[in-house]
Amino acid sequence: MLRIGIIVVLVVGALAAFGGYWWAKKHQRIGEGSLVSKVADSQLADNVACDKRSGNGSVWWCAGSVGGTEKCWVVHVKLLGGIKYRDGGGRCKNDSALSTS
């Protein structure tokens, strides 16, 4: 009986681990409209546009203007919803989806 119990626990654990991995990889973390609003609010930016760079919405490139200066951010959305902003440098210039004009 103990062996069967151990096998059941291992199988259930493996299924839970696989399900958690699949959910983390495939789960859409944030929609474009929500992200545009969050970037505009947190970075005090106008005319924000974002382009999804990963299938699950974990990495985005966003462009906008702050005080009349064009800015580009690489935005990472964490699994539980936290957002991290990094300077995007010139990444946004060649992406037509990020036109802020």
pLDDT for res 37: 95
3 state SS of 97: helix
**Mean pLDDT along residues 69-87:** 91
Query: Which range in 31-35, 61-65, 97-101 is most confidently predicted, on average pLDDT?
Result: 61-65
pLDDT, tens digit, for every residue of 36-67?
A: 999 999 999 999 999 999 888 889 999 999 99
Tell me how far apart the alpha carbons of residues 92 and 89 are, in angstroms, rounded to a whole number: 8
Using CB atoms within 10 A of its CB, is residue 56 exposed (0-12), middle (13-18) or buried (19+)?
Answer: middle
Global pTM?
A: 0.72
pLDDT for res 65: 94
Structural contact between residues 73 and 38, judged by C-beta atoms closer than 8 angstroms: no
pLDDT for res 24: 59
